[in-house]
A and B are shown apart, each in its own frame.
Chain A
């Protein structure tokens, strides 16, 4: 009834999402976009955990681990955005290069 998705294809999708997240973190200079890249990296890791958890249907350890990852990511996003807002109020910019040159 259900057709199995090959495990490698899910892992390749997760690798592509991880790469996009790394690219966003490296190239973007606005602090919020860097946070968005980090969220994408978290999602790529979660996809791997859930994909392997499919072969572990009695224990579901991968799914439970991914739930905790989602939770920690939410906490991280809240604190990081609060810090970004404070930095923006202090330096009047959210551009990371300008913050580094002003703070140094």
Chain B
């Protein structure tokens, strides 16, 4: 089944991102993870979120991260490498987190919750895409978060440009 293929790709490339020491390899395996997560969004009937994931993460954030790798590593003759520390602590903490989360998910039984059992998962009541519904929601119920988000983006843009250009030392 398609979901399990994409899930395996996401987990394997995520694991490779942690295991490799080369920064560029880590960046490109993060690209693979983000792409397979976008595919999983499509399988979950979230087409608009999938397209947004592609445009914002793959087209924006990942390019930013690659620029960050290029600009923040001395590229002499050796390739860009990253060091590891706290390996024992990191592995033990994340293993404990994984075991705890899996046990909780297994014991909680989310599928037998009443509102999920009663939910009408008949895909969007015959609608083909979620774009129209999301547009209506953004302009009615979610108009305040929408406006605040636009303000936040403006502030973040100005702040990032101001910090990155770097004024001359006085």
| Closest chain A residue, CB of each to CB of B88 | A27
Cβ of B71 within 8 Å of any chain A Cβ, yes or no, is: yes
Q: What class of interface size applies to chain B in its complex with A?
A: 35 or more
How far, in Å, is B120 (CB) from chain A's closest CB?
A: 6
User: What is the bound-complex CA distance between A71 and B95, given in angstroms?
Assistant: 30
Complex contact A47–B37 (CB within 8 A): yes
The B27-54 residues at the A interface (CB cut-off 8 A) are 27, 30, 33-34, 37, 40-41, 43-46, 48-49, 52-53
Provide the residues of chain B in CB contact with A58, threshold 8 Å: 120, 125
User: What is the bound-complex CA distance between A2 and B116, given in angstroms?
Assistant: 18
Complex contact A5–B3 (CB within 8 A): yes
User: What is the bound-complex CA distance between A54 and B145, given in angstroms?
Assistant: 22
Q: A17-B14, A29-B83, A97-B85 are in contact. Are A82 and B98 (CB under 8 A)?
A: no
How far, in Å, is B131 (CB) from chain A's closest CB?
A: 11
> Which B residues are within 8 Å of any A CB, using their own CB?
1, 3-4, 7, 10-11, 14-15, 17-18, 23, 26-27, 30, 33-34, 37, 40-41, 43-46, 48-49, 52-53, 56-57, 60-61, 64-65, 67-69, 71-73, 82-87, 89-91, 93-95, 97-98, 101-102, 105-106, 110-111, 115-116, 119-125, 130, 133-134, 137-138, 142, 145, 149, 152-153, 156-157, 159-161, 163-164, 166
Complex contact B102–A12 (CB within 8 A): yes
> Number of A residues contacting the other chain (C-beta, 8 Å)?
75
> What DSSP secondary structure best describes chain B's contact surface?
helix
Provide the residues of chain B in CB contact with A13, threshold 8 Å: 7, 10-11, 40
Q: A16-B11, A47-B37, A71-B153 are in contact. Are A26 and B90 (CB under 8 A)?
A: yes
> Which A residues are within 8 Å of any B CB, using their own CB?
2-13, 15-24, 26-33, 35-37, 39-40, 43, 46-47, 50-60, 63-64, 66-68, 70-79, 81-86, 88-89, 94-95, 97
Complex contact B7–A9 (CB within 8 A): yes
Complex contact A20–B164 (CB within 8 A): no
Partner of B26, one of A36, A43, A77: A36
How far, in Å, is A8 (CB) from chain B's closest CB?
A: 6
19 A-B interface contacts by CB (under 8 A): A10-B44, A22-B93, A30-B83, A32-B65, A33-B23, A36-B27, A40-B14, A43-B57, A47-B40, A47-B41, A54-B44, A54-B46, A55-B121, A57-B119, A57-B125, A60-B133, A71-B56, A81-B65, A95-B83
